[in-house]
């Protein structure tokens, strides 16, 4: 989630984000702009085509009717833009979006934050006490060690849908209210990806609005437009740069299902149905292959935040002192600070880890000083759109 991951779906395989544990992004874009468009645009058919191929003026057969032509007629209003986005995403995600009933915080699993209790040669993770300001696995997005956040995951064929409900507190009426809810849908066959992010402090356990606005009532569409304003994804890819789903140790209590090892295509879905490039580059130097054979390393926040964190080159102030001490040379508790590649790849000691990943670590950290820039052995290429 965030961010790097192990080759196998592991609870410490790096991937949300979203800025650890980021599934979604911190701000939703209110813009209706499509940004730079890459790939084939959808048909401009007005919906009157009966589905048969006709010869155009160029002599080439026209494409099939645009399934979202009617839904995207009005894109000058928030509701019109949101309805168009919903339709485009539903089509891109193999004609599927989860129902409102499925996509609720109450149907997600708890995210547990931990305190590390150290012995001379080992450590034990225990849930943090209420009100803890520091912990072993904070959320790098919200800077919180609060208990009670949740992560939900659904799969539908080639499509994965993840949602996160962050930092709960008690609302004035005594119910649980989440500071933030965010959703990501990704088609790992085609790379199509959509983001939704709420306006914060509006969603409880069971009142998240539907994503499918074509099947929603007028009241549901209005609430969804207000609570999930159109998000084109351009802000989200600052963190979700090499992969839609980000993982950090903040999510280690969950049954995380990683898709990072497939390293498939990755693009945003434009309001015109086109595949929009993320404009992110991935590190492809052979010297980094010990890590990139399992997952990409992106040129945005993976370079500036997640890779240094996972490789213990920089641990932020949100971590408790035990984690900072574990990053020091010779610490017997080093796995607290070095969270790649995860427990599925156990090492007897740090020397064994260093012999396997040490040179790749140095190369990655060096290349991330100038992310996306070729030179001094660093090789980058655009993350594939299709």
Q: How far apart are CA 116 and CA 80, in angstroms?
A: 49
Angle CA(81)–CA(21)–CA(203) in degrees, nearest 5?
A: 50
Name the phi and psi angles at 309, rounded to 5. Answer: -70, -50
pLDDT on residue 345: 73
DSSP letter string over 254-295? S-----GGG----EEEPTTS-EE----EEE--GGGHHHHTTS
> pLDDT value at position 262?
87
Question: Contact at 8 Å (CB) between 371 and 293?
Answer: no
pTM for this structure? Answer: 0.85
Per-residue confidence of the chain (386 residues) as pLDDT tens digits?
Answer: 333 333 433 333 344 333 344 455 644 333 333 333 333 333 333 333 333 333 344 555 677 899 999 999 999 999 999 999 999 999 999 999 999 999 999 999 999 999 999 999 999 999 999 899 999 999 999 999 999 999 999 999 999 999 999 999 999 999 999 999 999 999 999 999 999 999 999 999 999 999 999 999 999 999 999 999 999 999 999 999 999 999 999 999 999 988 888 899 999 999 999 999 999 999 999 999 999 999 999 999 999 999 999 999 999 999 999 999 999 999 999 999 999 887 667 788 999 999 999 999 999 999 999 999 999 999 999 999 99
Q: Are the C-beta atoms of 260 and 13 separated by less than 8 Å?
A: yes
Q: What is the pLDDT of residue 322?
A: 97
Region of residue 375 (phi > 0: left; psi between -120 and 50: alpha; otherwise: beta): left
CA diameter of the chain: 79
Strands 203-204 and 176-187: antiparallel
Cα–Cα distance measured from residue 317 to residue 309, given in angstroms and rounded to the nearest whole number: 11
Taking only Cα atoms into account, the Rg of the chain, rounded to an integer number of angstroms, comes to 22
Residue 376 region by backbone torsions, left for phi larger than 0, else alpha for psi between -120 and 50, else beta: left
- Confidence (pLDDT) at 20: 40
pLDDT of residue 258: 85
Which token pair is 325? 């001490």
pLDDT for 31: 39
Of 379, 383, 381, which is closest to residue 367 (Cα–Cα)? 379
Enter the DSSP assignment of 200: S
Q: How far apart are CA 254 and CA 110, in angstroms?
A: 7
């Amino acid at each position: 989630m965030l961010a790097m991951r192990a080759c196998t779906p592991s609870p410490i395989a790096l991937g949300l984000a979203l800025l650890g544990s980021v599934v979604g992004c911190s701000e939703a874009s209110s813009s209706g702009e499509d940004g730079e468009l890459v790939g084939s645009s959808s048909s401009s058919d007005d919906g009157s085509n009966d589905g048969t191929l006709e010869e155009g003026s160029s002599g080439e057969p026209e494409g099939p009717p645009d399934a979202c032509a009617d839904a995207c007629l009005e894109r000058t209003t928030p509701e019109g833009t949101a309805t168009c986005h919903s339709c485009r995403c539903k089509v891109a995600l193999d004609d599927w979006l989860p129902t409102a009933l499925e996509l609720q915080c109450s149907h997600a699993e708890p995210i547990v934050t931990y305190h590390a209790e150290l012995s001379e040669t080992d450590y034990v993770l225990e849930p943090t006490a209420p009100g803890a300001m520091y912990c072993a696995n904070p959320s790098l997005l919200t800077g919180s060690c609060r208990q009670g956040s949740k992560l939900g995951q659904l799969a539908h064929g080639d499509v994965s849908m993840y949602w996160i409900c962050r930092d709960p507190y008690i609302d004035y009426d005594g119910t649980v209210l989440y500071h933030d809810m965010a959703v990501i849908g990704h088609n790992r066959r085609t790379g199509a990806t959509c983001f939704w992010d709420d306006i914060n402090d509006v969603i409880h356990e069971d009142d998240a609005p539907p994503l499918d606005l074509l099947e929603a009532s007028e009241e549901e569409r209005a609430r969804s437009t207000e609570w999930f304003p159109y998000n084109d994804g351009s802000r989200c890819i600052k963190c979700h740069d090499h992969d839609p789903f980000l993982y950090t140790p903040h999510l280690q209590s969950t049954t995380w299902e990683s898709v990072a090892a497939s390293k498939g295509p990755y693009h945003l879905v434009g309001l015109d149905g086109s595949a929009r490039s993320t404009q992110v580059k991935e590190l492809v130097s052979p010297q980094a292959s010990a890590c990139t054979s399992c997952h990409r390393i992106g040129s945005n926040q993976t370079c500036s935040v997640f890779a240094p964190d996972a490789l213990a080159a920089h641990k932020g102030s949100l971590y408790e002192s035990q984690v900072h001490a574990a990053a020091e040379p010779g610490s017997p508790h080093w796995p607290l600070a070095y969270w790649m590649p995860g427990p599925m790849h156990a090492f007897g000691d740090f020397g064994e880890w260093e012999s396997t990943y040490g040179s790749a670590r140095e190369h990655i950290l060096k290349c991330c000083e100038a992310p996306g820039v070729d030179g001094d052995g660093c090789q980058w290429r655009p993350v594939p759109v299709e």
